[in-house]
Structures are given as C-alpha cells and as structure tokens.
Structure 1
Amino acid sequence: MKSHVKALVVGGGAVGTSIAYHLARAGWNDVMLLERDELTSGSTWHAAGLLPLFNMSYATTHIHKYSVEFYKSLEAETGLNAGFSIVGNLRMAQTQDRMDEYMLYASTAETAEVPYEWMTPGQIKDRWPLVHVDDLKGAIYHPTDGYINPADVTMAMAKGARQRGVMIERKWQVDAYHWTGSEWQVTCTKMVERGGNLVPSEEQTVITAEHVVTATGNHAQRTAKLLGIKTPAIPVEHQFIVTEPDPALVEYRRNGGAEHPVLRDADAKWYVREERGGWILGPYERNAPARFAYGVPDSFRADLFPLDLERIEEEYMSMIHRLPTSETVGLKDDFNGPICYTPDGNPLIGPAPGLRNMWLAEGFSFGITAAGGTGHYLAQMMVEGEAEIDMASLDPKRYGSWMTTDYAVAKNEEAYEHVFILHHPDEERERARALRTSPAYDRQKARGAQFGQVNGWDRPNYYAPQGFDDHASRSFRRGGWWQYAVEEAKAIREGVGLIDATAFTKHLLKGRGATAFLDWFTCNKLPKVGRINLTYALTSAGTTRTEYTIVRLAEDTYYLVSAGAWTAYDSDFLMKAIEDKMDDFGWMSCHDVTTQWGVFAIAGPKSRDVLKEVIRDADPETALSNKRFPWLSARQIELGMCPVNAIRVAYTGELGWELHHPIEMQNYLFDLLMDAGEKHGIKLVGARAQNWLRQEKSYRAFGTELGRDATPLEADLPRFVDLGKEFHGKAAMEKTGVRAKCVTLLIDGPEDADPWGREALYDGDTKVGRLTSGGYSVAFGKSIGMGYVTPELAVPGKKLKVRMFTKLWDAVVTEDSPYDPKNETIRKDG
C-alpha cells in the first residue's frame, strides 16, 4: 500500500467510489480509497436504488441529473452492468396544492433541462391499469430515470476508478488525522474478522495525503470527532418492505404490460416499485428515530434494525388503496437500516470548516441518486478551484458552531418525515425553534411576529393579528400572510418601518495589514474613514464568494457586514485568507462579533423624524441631515441611553439607517424607537416585505443573484468593481467575460400568485434564463423578479415570458432600480 498520495478518499460506498473515480478522471493520477469493511457495506447495500430527479434545490437538481446520465454510460466504460432500469418516475397528486408543488418544481427542472411530462388520471389508468386513480388530480412523470442496483453501480464505479489508476484498499480504518501545515498524515489500522465482528488488529500505517475527502456515511460523527469539527450528519431509520409476487402484476407483465414506473404517492408518503413480480414499498412515516447520534457501535456492520410495521401501518394501507391487487399479497422481506440525514435533507459537500485540504461528502439521504453528481462537482472544486454550478447551498459550513447533537437529531428526524410533506416555498418547519433569538423576540412575538429560521436564528418574516395560523396560510400561491407583507412594504415606502436585522454576520478586522489585505481581498475601492461601501470577495474562478458592506471605523479598523445565513461560511473563508496573507500584508486580527451586536433597520420617509425624537445631540434637528450624516456614511450616535453605530444605508432602498447596538441593550432601544415612532405611524416589518422592496431597487442578494456561478460583472455590478487595482480573482473574472446578465423584470402574472425565484424565462419558445428571486411590488402593483438571461436580452423594455403554473406570463426587463432609479428618496435631506 502506498504511503503518499495526492488524494485520499475515506469511505467505500457509492459516494466515495464516485469521488475517487471522478478525481482520477479529472487528471489526478495518484488517488487512493480506503474502506473500513467491504465496498457497499454501509447504507449503500440496503438502499432501494431509486433515482428521483425531483428536487427544489437548483444545485441538487444538477447533481441528480448528472448521476442519472453518468450511470447510463458506465457499462460501456467498465463492462459492468449497473442494473439501471429506465422505467421513469411517476409522482401522483391527490390535491391541487400538490399539483401546484409539482408545477413550481417543473419550472426548476426546466432551468436544469430535466425532462418531464404531465399526466391526467385517465392517462395513468390507460397506461398502468393496476393503479387506482379515482382520487388523483394528476401527476408529473420523468421518463428518463428509474432505479438502479446500488451494489452494482458502486462496483462499476470502483472498476472504472481502478482502470484510471485509483488504489482501493479494503479493511483499513482511519483512526487519526494530523495536519502538518502542508499535508495530512492519516493513521490507519488494519481491520480483521473475529467472531463475526470486525475488530482492529495491531497493524497500523500512516498515509500522507495532500488532500483528504471523507465520505463516511453513517460514521460521520466519528469522522467529525477525529477532525475536531461538528457535523449535523446523523442517520435516521428508513424501512422498506418487499412483497411476494402479485398474481395480477405477474399476469399484467405476461400479457405485455410495460413495467410500472417508480410510483410516488406523495400525499400518502411512500414510493413503490416493482421487484421480481412483487412490490417494494418505501414509506417516509412520522416518528422514525435518529440512530447513532454519538457514533456507530463497533459491533454494527452491514446490519439492520427490527422492522416496525405498526409505525408504517398507515402507509401500508394506503399502498393497498393505490394498488388494490396488493391487498392479498404476503410480505417477502423487510429492511430497516440507517440512512444519514441533515437538518435540511441536503448533503454536506465541500471544504471542512477551519481545515485545509479537507473535503467533506457526508449526510446523503439520497446517496445513490447524488453519488455520481457529487463526485463530478466535488472533483471540479478540488481540481479546478470551483464547480461550474454554485455549490454554496450544500456547503458544510451552513451549520455553524452553535449546532448541537440534540438540534441535529430533532431536525434530521423532521427532515425525514418531510420528504413527502408539501414543500411550500414559504414553509417554516417547527422543530428546534426559538433556539437562537434576539433579545426583542418576546416583544416582537407579542406584536404578532411570525418567525422564520435562518442559520438557527428566529427572525420575523411578517406580523399578523393574534391567533393567525402561519401553517394554515402557507401556499404555492399568495398565502394568508401576503396581505400583511403588502401593508408592511407600503409602510416603508410611505411612512416608516422597523426591521430586526440582528442575524447579519459581523466581523471586526483591524491591524496594520488590514487595509492592504482588504484592498486585495475585495473588488471595490475601500471607503474613507467614517464611510462605507458595498463590495465583493471573489473566488479563485472570479465569481462572487461573499458580499460585504464595509464600514471603515479608523485607518486600519474595519467593520464587515454580510448575510445572516452565511456566518460560518463567510468567517471560514475570511479567516483562512487572512492567515494566508498575514506575511504579505502585516499583522491583523479578525473576530466574529455577530452575537455581540444587534441590528435594527429603520426605513421610510419618516425614519429621520422618528430618530430626531430620541437622538442625543447638541443640535438634534441637523444631526441626521445630509451635511452631518450623508448617505453611505457611518457615525457613532446616542439614542437615549443606547450607544449606536449608525450606518446610513437601507436594504429597502428608502431613506433609512442601520442601527448597530450592543445586543444587551436591544430591548431598551426597541421600546424607545416604538414609543417615539407611535405618532409617526411606525410599523414593524418582516423579511418577506424587505425581500420585495430590495427587488424594486434591483439590490442583489447573496445566495440568489450573487453566488459562485456568476461574476460581479455578470451580476451587472460594474460600479462596485475597481478594475484599476489588483484583487483576488480579478484575472479569472476578466477571462470569464459575461456569459449571462442579471436583470430585474416586472411581471403580469396570475392574479393570485407571484414568482418565487425558481422559474424559467423564455423569449418566445426559447428558454433564455431563469429567475433567482421573485415577489410582489407595491410600487408597481404587480409581480417582480430578478434573474439571469443571455446578455443580448438584458435590455430595458425587452419582453420575455415567465413560466408559472405551466403557463407563460408576460414579463418585461426594466431599468436597474425601477423604483427611484436616481436614488433621490434614499438621499433625501432633512
């Protein structure tokens, strides 16, 4: 066994073998894979092997699509049949709400060029007569996918990897990782069979690797402990049963009937497929427990848990309802094994927090579906520096150090039972709530706040009357909350509103090297002392890695504000860059101060009037004037007894200020502002109205318009890029050019719905782009959206179409910042 390799992959399931294969295919000719037992001996061996393309995530959709196409090519390369049965995938709907979900998903599928068809109940019955359809509304059908044999596809990828020079070593367990400063030393122990168990022997070796990838499946908690990091990847029990042959199905196939597609009755929470004349039923029931929260016992190998039929009785009976001929068929086999989950159901793919050249590929609840695409896109990240799609939504650092085992268990169990529960775009799941709260949480709740969760923080989405049921209001169209968000948006445009933005990520950077570092790290000019600017840190590929508002507090002291959803993600990137450049630029220190400072954003034509009531200044009338406090500047002020770092900027595009205050004084400041604002009609405003308002100003948001698949120039932000200086990613950005361009569109959509930011854009019958954000504009009285189109179409006045609920609706490209394009309102003096 070699002692030094370019890349070491730990884990020999479908995901690990795919990563090893794709690294070799990408040109790394010194790759080794270690498996502690046998290939496929983890969750891979008891997976059902389904390949569902359905997914609301743009990145995950691309990953699944790649897998399906890749698996079809394996036999030609390796000579091994992966057992791919291309029977299609039929998702049935019992309700109109479910059909609405499929329509929203279908537009996402279009943007990734995933084929689909719509089917009526009658068409289903004509094609597959064993299916009971009387209570169905319809279905969406994917003709290109189906199911595969998990062990066979893993072995085919392993053979393909070996053919490309990958060394695969079985029965070696990793027991320690040590970073030398330039490479990893990985201590491995030879595992041996003893009494049916797999136990460590006395034989050990150390493998030195430039890069390490962990794809350890159910053993992710052990891996995290060895690395000294946290991960929410914890398995949940998943059961499926196999029936005896169904005589009616056997007869149907004998008479030339086509194999049934993988059937999914989402409203009944199960999937079913044919298996040797019988049926496999896989339910996603409530109360499936998480397992191995603190690690997999040494005695657990390719083992299973006892079947709990009582727990899946409801789903079993609903299968009989949907396939009546299955009622008299006996059970042939059952499986109840651990499948790894994460709180949002998506895998963890990318660099490990705080570590160099350590890559994670963990938490795969649909590992067979995702394995091929994960290998492809992770190899791109490792070899080329970035993937061709934005992988930020799957980054392991989307869960920060605040995350605990209890949190992961609660959310993973919830994610499991939500596999087939309606995925409303405005859904907010109930478990582990009110975990991270700003001090004003109780005051906001008492005033009707309906909270959403972002990065563990509960923040107001909107405010409703007492007794309003947020859960019942959710919809794929305009939910019951919509009218309240409209009122809040109007309050900002016409009066004054207060938004809790405490979840913003905040870093304090200072030291003699800080200025030179930031000048290299970001693409815009640095502000002068007392001023602010908006800027971007780029990836090595020249795309947008992070958006910052930089406040220059002193010559070498900076306060950096970025998106609240991305604290650990931003912090890790920033800290590593500082460490890399300390010798070049000089000493500097950087601290994450997110939880030390609360933030209120006050905005609207009357915002200055409210602040005048409470500011303590020798001349309160002029303290907030343009002369003393101009737009895009920052000052330390006193509001009553609260010291405030005030920034004259507003994400809503109205006259306003961000009030950064000591978090322990938040309740005092909240009461002060609400009391002072009462006579001015102040209104509390949530994140949904704010999201609409920022689109009226064409303000891009990180994670939607801004990401690792587009440069700032493609985001059409040249005013924030200083091409007269050198900065990280500049050359790559210029080389990339402008492949697509970000635009704002006003949309004449259906009367009861707005786009969500996942919809396909058309020029005539040609798909030309996609929306990345959507909502309603109170200024224009119609739907609004932002997205990317081919550059020649990014012209104000260009008429396009938006796909919503299977129809194409008129849309027109507007000028940038259609509301107040000259920024007269935001600069208003007083």
Structure 2
Amino acid sequence: MRMKTHVRALVVGGGAVGTSIAYHLAKAGWDTMLLERDELTSGSTWHAAGLLPYFNMGYATSHIHDYSIRFYKTLEEETGLNPGFSVVGNLRMAQTQARMDEYELYASLAETVGIPHEWLTPADIADRYPLVRTDDLVGAILHPTDGYINPADVTMAMARGARQHGATIERRWQVDGYHWTGEHWDVTATRMVERGGNLVASDEQVTIHAEHVVTATGNHAQRTAQLLGIKTPAIVVEHQYIVTEPDPALVEWRKSNPQHPVLRDADAKWYVREERGGWILGPYEQNAPARFPFGVPDSFRADLFPLDLERIEQEYMSFIHRIPSSENAGLKDDFNGPICYTPDGNPLVGPAPGLRNMWLAEGFSFGITAAGGTGHYLAQMMTSGEAEIDMASLDPRRFGKWMTTEYAMRKNEEAYDHVYVLHHPDEERPACRPLKTAPCYDRMKARGAQFGCVNGWERPNYFGPLDAPDSFDHDSRSFRRGAWWGHAVTEAKAIREGVGMIDATAFTKHMLRGPGAAAFLDWFTTNKLPKVGRINLTYALTEAGTTRTEYTIVRLAEDTFYLVSAGAWQAYDSDFLAKAVNDKVNDFGPMWLDDCTGAHGVFALAGPRARDVLRDLIVAPDPTFALSNKGFPWLSARRIELGMVPVNAIRVAYTGELGWELHHPMEMQNHLFDRLMAAGEAHGLTLVGARAQNWLRQEKSYRAFGTELGRDATPLEAGLDRFVDLSKDFHGKAAMEETGIRSKCVTLLIDGPDDADPWGREALYAGDDRVGRLTSGGYSVAFGRSIGMGYVRPDLAVPGTPLQVRMQRALWEAEVTEDSPYDPTNARIRADG
C-alpha cells in the first residue's frame, strides 16, 4: 500500500507523547499521520520508569496529569491492549514541617482539579507499610488512584487507538526538512534502514503535504529546532536509576499483602517502587550533566550513557536508611538514560514561535505522566482554537530569543536538581543570574534590593535591611510569611501613605505605526481606541473568545501607538502580535511593528506624594500646572523632561494611588534614577518591590495576566465589561458572547492564619461544596487581613457572600467584597494638586 502524502495533521515522533497526540487528533476527526524515525517507544520512552505522579505545583500541569491517569485506565476497554497500569498509589513522605507545608499548598491546588488524596501520620505509615522506617518522618500525602505503568504498553495501546480512529502510523521515516508554502507544510522524509546495528538513511524519500505539523521528537528536539530555524531550550539531562535483586523481606511481605505504593522521600531526593520482588530506585541528585546540546548523534538510538554510581551514592544510602531491608538486596541492573528538560521543568506545548500551523510538544521530563493529557489539550487547541484550561504556562514562547544554548544547559541541570527541592511559591532559582539587568541594577542592589527573575530580567522583589545586612537571610523563603514579609508590608504602606518607586523596566513594549495601525488595533482589541495623548486598557482575545493578552495602549499620534503588556510574556506577546499584523496588513493598510522592550526603562512612581517628587524635578514653565489634573489628566500621556531626561510619562498606577509610569531612554536610566532619588529624599521616597505591588493591585481588584487573566476565561467572566466595547466588531467577539458567563472573578478579604497568607493556588468552598479557586493571594495593608482574587460560580459573585479558603488543610473564613475594595471611587488616583 502506498504511503499517504496528504494529511491534515502530521505528528513527528512515536513516543508516548506523539502517539497520544495522534490518538486525540484522530479521535477529533482530523486526518492524521504519525512518522517515527525508528520504532515506536525507541526514544526515552523505552527506558522510562513509567511513574504516574499526580503531584505538581502548576494548575495546567495538574490537569494534564489528571487527564492522563484517568485516560490510561480506559485504554484496555477501547483498544483491547492492556497498558500495564498498576494502580498502587503514590506515597510522598516528609521529613520536615516545611515539606508538609508544601504538600498542604499542593493539596489545596489539587482540590481545585478534583485530585483525590489522603493524609497519613508516621504511625499510619508504619502500620500500613512496616518495611518503611518512620521515626524521622513528620507525615505524608497519599494519592490512592495513581501508580506506575508500562511505558511501551501504554504507547502501543494509544497507537492502536489512534489507528482505530483512522490515523496512519509509519515507522522508519526520518523527517529531514520542513517548508511552509504559505498554505501548508511540505515535510520531506527519508526511509531509514538498519545496517550493522545502525540506523542509516536510504535513497527513498517522500514529501508529505500537511496543513498542520506537530513535533514530539523527544531527545531529538535540538535537531528539530535546527530544521525549523528556531531556538529551543529542550536539551537532555542524564538520569540514573537502579534495579535491585529481590529483597527477602519484601518477598515475604508480598505473600499476604498488596504492592507498596510508589514511595517518595522528597527530602532525600528519590522515588522507589517495587519491581519483581526487588526495588527500583530513581534519584534526582546534584550535578547530573546536560548532554547533546546541539543534537543527538545519528548513531544514538535506544542507547544509554555510562554509569556514574558515585554521583548517586548519597541517595542510595538514604534509600537504605528509609527501607532498611533493601540493604540485603544486591544490585541487579542500572540505567543512565537521557531525559529532555527545559529551564523551568515544564514542557513546551503549543505554537512554535514565528511559524504558522507548527505545533511543539517537546521537553518532557515526565513524559509518560504528561502524554495523555498533552494529547488531549493540544488537540483541543488545534481543533477548537483553544484548550478548556489555560495552557500559557507551557507555551513554547515563554522563553525569548535571548535564550542561548549555555543558558538552557545550565538551567536544565538546575531543573533536574530541583525536582525534589522544596517548591516555595516565593522561590527564586540562582542559576544563570544575573543575566538581563536594567542599568540601575547595581544602584538598587546597593540599596538592599532582593531580586526575582522575570523573562530573564532581574527585578526587585523587595528591599532588605541596610543597617544589618549580615543578620538578614536574603535567601529566606517559606510557605508561610517569609523573612521578606515585613519589608513588603513597609513598602506597601509607603505607597499608600507617602510615595514609592518601582522598577518596571521588564514591561513588554511595542510600537505600532502606519496608516493601517488604528483600524487594525480597533479590530484586534476589545476597547475603544484612545484619542491622541490618552491611554486605555484593552484586551486581545483568542479565537475562543477568551483573554489572550492585556495591553495598555498609548496613542502618540493618529497612526502611532505604544503598547505595554506583561513583562513575563515578551516573546509570547510579540509573536502573537506580529502574526496578527502580518495577517491583516492587506485588510487595514501598511503597518510597522517594533518590539522596543529593551529601548525603554520604566519607573513607576506612586503614592499621595508622587506629584511632589515630580514637581521638584520637572522642567516646565509652570510645574504645578504641568502635573495638575488639568495639565496632566488621569489616563493621559505627556512627553515631559525630568532633569536632562526626556520621558514619556503615563498617568496611571498599578498600585491604585496617584502615580505615573515614567518611560525613558534606557541609556539615561541611571541619571534619572539618581535625580528621582535625590528629589524624593525630602518626601520620604521608598523603593518598592514586586511583592508589595502585587498586594496593592489586589486591593484595587486589578487583574493580572497569567493569574486572573488567561485563555480559560473571557474578559466578561473576568469582570472587565467596562473595557469591552460591544458596539464594535473585534476579533473573538462572537465566541466570547457565545461562551457566556461560566464563572466570575471576585476579590475576597480573608481571615486566615496568623502566620500565612494565600498564594493564589487555593480552593474555595461554600459550605461543603467546592465552588472555585484563588488565582492570586497576599496581604492587605489597607484592611489588615489576607486578600485574594479568584473565580467562583456566578451566583456567588455577590459582595458580602461568605466563603471559605483552604489553607494548611483547614478552611478559613472569607468574604466576597465589592470590586476595588480600596478607594472604589478612584478618588486617590484622580487627586489634584
């Protein structure tokens, strides 16, 4: 039978991820083909341990894992093939209270997804699993419905299911080229043959015409990226695990007892599961190296790396400590294979940057766990325009063009090492930092700045003490109120009561100009366009009518617009905007788009005394008039001079106080910083970090992209009706209106524990019913209570509605407030002077 050469979707890669994608696309009715260069499962799938852990601190990834685990349990009935799923559960142990704090935060997130879990005491563990030593444990969390699976079997079951739904699977074809014709992809593939144990290219070639292409090439992600002309951080890291001979105590235990759950001693950095009367030990040790930064050699097939058992000696000894009987079991086998990683440990799932109809599914460090859910949600994105959950946290464009090979290697090694490191919500990982710094970085550091990293930029999170820096643990982090908390309180109060300055240089900034710019933006965004010299807040939507990007638009001239969006999403926004401009240039007229993020620094000056600081510095005939409501109204932009620096000043403040964003030439930033600090000295100017700003914006109910705003909710569900002009036509409008209101965004004041605030991952309850989830959390200096924002059932989004928030296993009282509970009339923002 001749090979097909025309398909709607071509999937490249025949591991667990690729076969799942082919299954779900075919099930959705798309004509689908899968190409595999070798045999199915011949990549990292074949040597995977097959674990299916629910545990994950990300909302989207938790959904993906949950879908996989439920989906795999249906495969045998559908396909007739047993995927080898051993539903033994998963016991994650804790040696410290901090580890239990991590589990409690995770558990609240898991509740929002509907993931079942149980809590065990050390006595419970000892009673159920007497081979496990428990005298130094604090407790554990048990997932009773997951376990482990045979990677080859589940892949073959999904492959059969894909064929049953009409997909074609071709083995021994290697893709050697991708060409976009403007309408479809021409994908060149070469027949691979085996000679002398090696896989080599033959003279037989074929060109496949595909409307969409998905790459799921695993260890070969670097080769794929080179063929596509893009950069990817997906690079493999070595992972060792060992298999023991039978443990006599375990063999005796199994005569009258079921299997142990998969055991994880997170503080010792390993997992263990039973294997034929013995144990499989998988450590995540320090100093595991990244390999093949420029691509896997052609000769590397189902191969392994040389062992380095000394590297995992500490983890092996801790395994014997936790399961003492294992000391009597000799080593039977050992593996050291490649696992693909990314700098943050999450896979790359979604559109390829700069390319049309090209989709990536690469960089899976937990590929078996994620395969089923990735296929499901990626197929939704491709066939319906968007997934039912927000997949932005996995989007390949979250890593910008500044990302290099060395950066990817070092960060991937760090991500591997951090698999079992405590996942603090206020964690800042140190590798490859500082890398991108604003000119005033050293000045802020000298004033106690403690930095976080956003899109590679160093951004102050808070400012520590200068009087006793050696006594302050600047690396302190916690699941409760860390050592930084008091400093953030001081900074937040400074803006509420006096004046503070925030470095907002990391903002993403674009300039769009040309005869077609106004008509394009009017179609592209939901709000009315501002007049010249004015600004507005607006949203671009997905095809599904949900929120794709938030923009502050400054109209500099009739045909010139300055667009500001979230700093963490520069490449994500730039790619989306550039594709839209290119698509519509013939409809609306000539336009020119420039990503000018690196050209402009930004200082946000805010607080009741912000005008006083600027008045002492502005160069104008009448400084008082120049900064008054008449001379500089709220939600307007003016070009002003501060000292010798030309500034595009925007009268807006993300903190909800009187304030300005001061957009300035990057090369003049240090001069401006020094002048602002000097002028601010008389007015008590305080440097403020991102954590205090995050609290302040919640007091004003300002939604943030990546938390309240995302691809799983419309602007109307987010409560942003005032920024949506329903009298005009705009992209995504019909889909938005058809979606209706499934849930509503609300702000809550919370009476939580004395030593903790919510982080924005917690479940919300009304009585015994789970009714929503928090997306942001923190502390309110204005109300002296914890605060949070999130989504609830529409009938509960009424001010005064009592709810409860799950924190530290307990339910704490909360109340839905009016939108913008602090200064709801915006009197402070509009203050004149």
TM-score range (shorter-chain normalised) is over 0.9
**In structure 2, C-alpha distance between the alignment counterparts of 1:114 and 1:275, rounded to whole Å:** 26
Please tell me the residue identity of whatever aligns with 1:728: H
Is 1:174 aligned to 2:187, yes or no? no
**In structure 2, C-alpha distance between the alignment counterparts of 1:640 and 1:75, rounded to whole Å:** 73
**In structure 1, C-alpha distance between the alignment counterparts of 2:527 and 2:676, rounded to whole Å:** 34
1:427–1:471: 8 Å Cα contact kept in structure 2? no
**In structure 1, C-alpha distance between the alignment counterparts of 2:474 and 2:236, rounded to whole Å:** 27
Q: For residue 23 of structure 1, what is the aligned residue in structure 2? A: 25
Q: For residue 708 of structure 2, what is the aligned residue in structure 1? A: 705
**In structure 2, C-alpha distance between the alignment counterparts of 1:122 and 1:83, rounded to whole Å:** 32
Q: For residue 165 of structure 1, what is the aligned residue in structure 2? A: 166
Please tell me the residue identity of whatever aligns with 1:190: R
Post-superposition shift, 1:827?
0.3
Post-superposition shift, 1:164?
1.2
1:243–1:333: 8 Å Cα contact kept in structure 2? yes
Q: What secondary structure sits across from 1:80 in the alignment?
A: coil
C-alpha offsets along residues 342-398 of structure 1, whole Å, 9 cap, x if unaligned? 011000000000000000000000000000000000000000100000000100000
Match of 1:731 among 704, 729, 734: 734
Is 1:114 aligned to 2:77, yes or no? no
Q: For residue 89 of structure 2, what is the aligned residue in structure 1? A: 88
**In structure 2, C-alpha distance between the alignment counterparts of 1:670 and 1:759, rounded to whole Å:** 39
2:530–2:555: 8 Å Cα contact kept in structure 1? yes
Please tell me the residue identity of whatever aligns with 1:8: L
Please tell me the residue identity of whatever aligns with 2:210: A
Spell out the pairing of 1:138-149 with structure 2 (5 A cutoff): 138-149=139-150
Please tell me the residue identity of whatever aligns with 1:301: R
C-alpha offsets along residues 250-273 of structure 1, whole Å, 9 cap, x if unaligned? 00111x112100000000000000
Post-superposition shift, 1:467?
3.2
Q: For residue 325 of structure 2, what is the aligned residue in structure 1? A: 325
Please tell me the residue identity of whatever aligns with 1:349: V
Is 1:153 aligned to 2:148, yes or no? no
C-alpha offsets along residues 420-469 of structure 1, whole Å, 9 cap, x if unaligned? 01000000000011101100000000110000001111100000023365
Post-superposition shift, 1:471?
5.6
Q: 1:189 to 1:471 in 2, by over 3 A?
A: farther
Q: What secondary structure sits across from 2:616 in the alignment?
A: helix
Please tell me the residue identity of whatever aligns with 2:595: D
Post-superposition shift, 1:470?
5.0
**In structure 2, C-alpha distance between the alignment counterparts of 1:14 and 1:232, rounded to whole Å:** 20
Spell out the pairing of 1:10-159 with structure 2 (5 A cutoff): 10-28=12-30, 30-159=31-160
**Structure 1 residues not aligned, in runs of 5+:** none
Match of 1:792 among 791, 795, 800: 795
Post-superposition shift, 1:59?
0.1
Post-superposition shift, 1:621?
1.7
Q: For residue 442 of structure 1, what is the aligned residue in structure 2? A: 442
Is 1:685 aligned to 2:688, yes or no? yes
Post-superposition shift, 1:201?
1.2
Post-superposition shift, 1:205?
1.1
**In structure 2, C-alpha distance between the alignment counterparts of 1:542 and 1:283, rounded to whole Å:** 44
Q: For residue 777 of structure 1, what is the aligned residue in structure 2? A: 780
Q: What secondary structure sits across from 2:388 in the alignment?
A: coil
**In structure 1, C-alpha distance between the alignment counterparts of 2:504 and 2:216, rounded to whole Å:** 36
**In structure 1, C-alpha distance between the alignment counterparts of 2:616 and 2:470, rounded to whole Å:** 33
Q: For residue 825 of structure 1, what is the aligned residue in structure 2? A: 828
1:488–1:683: 8 Å Cα contact kept in structure 2? yes
Q: 1:347 to 1:468 in 2, by over 3 A?
A: farther
Q: What secondary structure sits across from 1:61 in the alignment?
A: helix
Q: For residue 4 of structure 2, what is the aligned residue in structure 1? A: 2
**In structure 2, C-alpha distance between the alignment counterparts of 1:544 and 1:800, rounded to whole Å:** 26
**In structure 1, C-alpha distance between the alignment counterparts of 2:208 and 2:777, rounded to whole Å:** 50
2:538–2:723: 8 Å Cα contact kept in structure 1? yes
Post-superposition shift, 1:202?
1.3
Match of 1:661 among 660, 664, 679: 664
Please tell me the residue identity of whatever aligns with 2:415: A
**In structure 2, C-alpha distance between the alignment counterparts of 1:181 and 1:468, rounded to whole Å:** 61
**In structure 2, C-alpha distance between the alignment counterparts of 1:79 and 1:534, rounded to whole Å:** 54
Post-superposition shift, 1:738?
0.5
Post-superposition shift, 1:622?
1.4
C-alpha offsets along residues 163-199 of structure 1, whole Å, 9 cap, x if unaligned? 1111111111111100000000011111111111111
**In structure 1, C-alpha distance between the alignment counterparts of 2:427 and 2:521, rounded to whole Å:** 38
Runs of 4+ in 1 over 6 A off after TM superposition: none
**In structure 2, C-alpha distance between the alignment counterparts of 1:160 and 1:9, rounded to whole Å:** 15
**In structure 2, C-alpha distance between the alignment counterparts of 1:640 and 1:820, rounded to whole Å:** 33
2:450–2:474: 8 Å Cα contact kept in structure 1? no
Post-superposition shift, 1:609?
0.3
Spell out the pairing of 1:351-366 with structure 2 (5 A cutoff): 351-366=351-366
**In structure 1, C-alpha distance between the alignment counterparts of 2:657 and 2:681, rounded to whole Å:** 19
Post-superposition shift, 1:472?
4.2
C-alpha offsets along residues 694-731 of structure 1, whole Å, 9 cap, x if unaligned? 00000000000000000000001100000000000001
TM-score normalised according to structure 1 size: 0.99
Spell out the pairing of 1:571-590 with structure 2 (5 A cutoff): 571-590=574-593
1:260–1:274: 8 Å Cα contact kept in structure 2? yes
Q: For residue 452 of structure 2, what is the aligned residue in structure 1? A: 452
Is 1:630 aligned to 2:637, yes or no? no
Is 1:410 aligned to 2:443, yes or no? no
**In structure 2, C-alpha distance between the alignment counterparts of 1:127 and 1:200, rounded to whole Å:** 55
Please tell me the residue identity of whatever aligns with 1:707: G
Please tell me the residue identity of whatever aligns with 2:717: E
Q: What secondary structure sits across from 2:52 in the alignment?
A: coil
2:464–2:474: 8 Å Cα contact kept in structure 1? no
**In structure 2, C-alpha distance between the alignment counterparts of 1:771 and 1:163, rounded to whole Å:** 41
Q: What secondary structure sits across from 2:99 in the alignment?
A: helix
Match of 1:805 among 793, 803, 808: 808
Q: For residue 520 of structure 2, what is the aligned residue in structure 1? A: 517
Post-superposition shift, 1:307?
1.5
**In structure 2, C-alpha distance between the alignment counterparts of 1:273 and 1:345, rounded to whole Å:** 23
Is 1:617 aligned to 2:620, yes or no? yes
**In structure 2, C-alpha distance between the alignment counterparts of 1:504 and 1:112, rounded to whole Å:** 32
Post-superposition shift, 1:298?
1.0
Q: For residue 719 of structure 1, what is the aligned residue in structure 2? A: 722
C-alpha offsets along residues 1-25 of structure 1, whole Å, 9 cap, x if unaligned? 1111111000000000000000001
Post-superposition shift, 1:294?
0.7
C-alpha offsets along residues 528-575 of structure 1, whole Å, 9 cap, x if unaligned? 000000000000111000000000000111000000000010011111
464-473 or 236-245, which deviates more: 464-473
Q: For residue 197 of structure 2, what is the aligned residue in structure 1? A: 196
Please tell me the residue identity of whatever aligns with 2:276: R
**In structure 2, C-alpha distance between the alignment counterparts of 1:610 and 1:173, rounded to whole Å:** 64
Match of 1:639 among 627, 637, 642: 642
1:450–1:470: 8 Å Cα contact kept in structure 2? no
Q: For residue 400 of structure 1, what is the aligned residue in structure 2? A: 400
C-alpha offsets along residues 564-592 of structure 1, whole Å, 9 cap, x if unaligned? 00001001111111111111111111110
How many residues matched?
828
Q: For residue 373 of structure 2, what is the aligned residue in structure 1? A: 373
Q: For residue 494 of structure 1, what is the aligned residue in structure 2? A: 497
**In structure 1, C-alpha distance between the alignment counterparts of 2:188 and 2:324, rounded to whole Å:** 56
Q: What secondary structure sits across from 1:614 in the alignment?
A: coil
**In structure 1, C-alpha distance between the alignment counterparts of 2:539 and 2:756, rounded to whole Å:** 33
**Structure 2 residues not aligned, in runs of 5+:** none
Is 1:608 aligned to 2:588, yes or no? no
**In structure 2, C-alpha distance between the alignment counterparts of 1:298 and 1:558, rounded to whole Å:** 49
Please tell me the residue identity of whatever aligns with 1:116: H
Q: For residue 349 of structure 1, what is the aligned residue in structure 2? A: 349
Identical amino acids, percent of aligned pairs: 80
Q: For residue 258 of structure 1, what is the aligned residue in structure 2? A: 258
C-alpha offsets along residues 740-786 of structure 1, whole Å, 9 cap, x if unaligned? 00000000000000000000000011100000000000000110000
**In structure 1, C-alpha distance between the alignment counterparts of 2:470 and 2:39, rounded to whole Å:** 56
2:248–2:328: 8 Å Cα contact kept in structure 1? no
Please tell me the residue identity of whatever aligns with 2:168: M
C-alpha offsets along residues 63-98 of structure 1, whole Å, 9 cap, x if unaligned? 000000000000001111100000000000000000
Q: What secondary structure sits across from 1:45 in the alignment?
A: coil
Q: For residue 559 of structure 2, what is the aligned residue in structure 1? A: 556
C-alpha offsets along residues 118-171 of structure 1, whole Å, 9 cap, x if unaligned? 000111111111000000000000000000000000000001111111111111
161-170 or 386-395, which deviates more: 161-170
